[in-house]
Amino acid sequence: QLQLVQSGAEVKRPGASVRVSCEAFTYTFTGYYLHWVRQAPGQGLEWMGWINPKNGDTKYAQKFRGRLTVTRDTSLNKAYMDLRSLSFDDTAVYFCVRDSRWQQLVGLWEFWGQGTRVTVSS
């Protein structure tokens, strides 16, 4: 069964960095784009960026450029979301989500990770 399994909850200080991983099971990891979406407490969904696991190409939302890096390790079928210079506003649940068409960027997001809660607290 297709699954995206994310790493566990994190608590970070302001100014620190966080890494969230997303491991893919039961499909060809390099065949589908992966996106990162977050949801702050009581707030809406926010698209952060994508990676093409086949070649490592990435695209980030303007808001996160310079602070966000998404990478992948094809030998482990994992993608990583690194967010730097954390502030209280970065407290959120972070989701990885797979696009649904083979090697196409279509924004068709059926398969989501379970979410990773990141808390920024002093």
Structure tokens at 14: 């302001």
Kindly state whether residue 66 participates in binding another protein, applying the rule CB under 8 A.
Answer: no
SS3 at position 56 = coil
Of 107, 99, 116, 106, the closest CA to residue 22 belongs to 116
How far is residue 54's CA from residue 24's CA, in Å, rounded to a whole number? 13
Q: What mask, x for binding another protein by CB under 8 A, covers residues 80 to 109?
A: ---------------x-x--------xxxx
Within 19-48, the residues that bind another protein by CB under 8 A are 35, 37, 39, 44-47
Residues that bind another protein in the complex, under the rule CB under 8 A: 35, 37, 39, 44-47, 49-50, 59, 61-62, 95, 97, 106-110, 112-115
